[in-house]
Amino acid sequence: MLTSKSEAVWEEAKEKGDFASFLPWLEKVVAFNLEFAELWGYEGHKYNALLEPYEPGMTVEKLDVVFGELRRRVVPLVAAIGDSPQKPDASVLRGKFDFDQQLRFSEFLLKEIGFDFEAGRLDKSVHPFATGLNPGDVRITTNFRDYDLTFSLFSSLHEGGHALYEQNISAELTGTLLATGTSMGIHESQSRFWENIVGRSKPFWQRYYRDLQSHFPALSGVDMETFYRAVNEVKPSLIRIEADEVTYNLHIMIRYELEKALFSGDLRPAELPGAWNDKYRDYLGVTPAHDGEGVLQDVHWSGGAFGYFPSYSLGNMYAAQIAAAMRREMPDMDERIARGELAPLKLWLTERIYRHGKIRTPNELIVGATGEELNPSYLVEYFEQKFKPIYGLV
């Protein structure tokens, strides 16, 4: 009852940038989460109780290490990219793009990555999402913007990654509580793998750019290299869901640090706007003009979903580590992608990730697939290998 009311108040408060009207409700939601943590039980930090439902086995102690290493190496990379004079021309992505053609191209790409339309469907919604009713009925949605082709394109690949996970869980698990993804972080790794590591890669567009141009003749005067650089623009921003794949992780770290401070007693809900703005200035060099584009931008806290945010960055780290393991076993991975041979990638993931559903814990799954526990170095190395050439840093 509380979160239903809280979400309604948040929606209006966000629109007006009015944190004061939302604060009494946020204080109650935080108090309930504090009570839940005591009832659920925890070892170490109280916040561990809130992490457990989203990422079983993950703790503050582990997150501090992986996020600390990620922050240490990503912050200077973002700064170097910002100082580079060799910027992509993102203006080539703006134009007028037909909705029907966007839908057709999204369906085409989903078929290419292995989405089974006999066991799923693609529809339109305000916010993209994926939901698996069972492995034989997995539904995804995206949103189409006539001025922004890439939103629907990459949202479809993102949700398609979630859907591939759900469609390829072992049939033996159907009808049990194990017929779903093992955690939010592992699930997010699959959406990020197909959206970013495959979908934003140069080999992918070497294969599919001509198909894109055939659907959208307005791109006929834009060469593939220019398009590839444009869809990989890195630029600090205020809004998490609009962030590029490098700075996105800094958005998540800010929220993690604020949540951890709330539940350790080092920060009061009333102090969130100031702490939020300070961290955005320190980490990303930007400051919100009002709380609607700052501390009120996400729905999660109004719904009581404390402990959820870290799973987004964990997904990025898992995805990079999984991709590195895949490359070791499939050295010609890029060449396969450039030929549109994506089935071997899906088969590899099915054997090591998808088919197990929730039988294995996230840690057991990542160790089994890659040979080691979560290691943030793989994500940083992926960023450096990809973005330094784009920005002339090598």
List, by residue number, the catalytic residues. Answer: 159
- What is the rounded CA–CA span in Å between residue 356 and residue 361? 10
The distance from CA 167 to its chain's CA centroid, rounded to whole angstroms, is: 20
Q: Residue 131: phi, psi to the nearest 5?
A: -140, 130
| Beta-sheet pairing, 129-134 with 120-124 | unpaired
Question: Checking phi first, is residue 175 left (phi over 0); if not, alpha (psi -120 to 50) or beta?
Answer: left
DSSP 3-state assignment of 357? coil
- What is the rounded CA–CA span in Å between residue 277 and residue 217? 43
Write the DSSP symbol of residue 145.
Answer: B
- For 13-78, the DSSP string reads HHHHT-HHHHHHHHHHHHHHHHHHHHHH--SSSTTHHHHTTTSTT--HHHHHHHHHHHHHHHHHHH
Going from the C-alpha of 26 to that of each of 268, 282, 306, the distances in angstroms are: 10, 25, 11
Task: Answer for the pair 181, 357: CB distance below 8 angstroms, yes or no.
Answer: yes
Task: Answer for the pair 321, 374: CB distance below 8 angstroms, yes or no.
Answer: yes
End-to-end CA distance of the chain: 55
Q: What share of the chain is helix, strand, coil (3-state, %, to 5)?
A: 60, 5, 30
- What is the rounded CA–CA span in Å between residue 233 and residue 235? 6
| Cβ partners under 8 Å of residue 348, min gap 6 | 326, 329, 330
Task: Answer for the pair 287, 274: CB distance below 8 angstroms, yes or no.
Answer: no
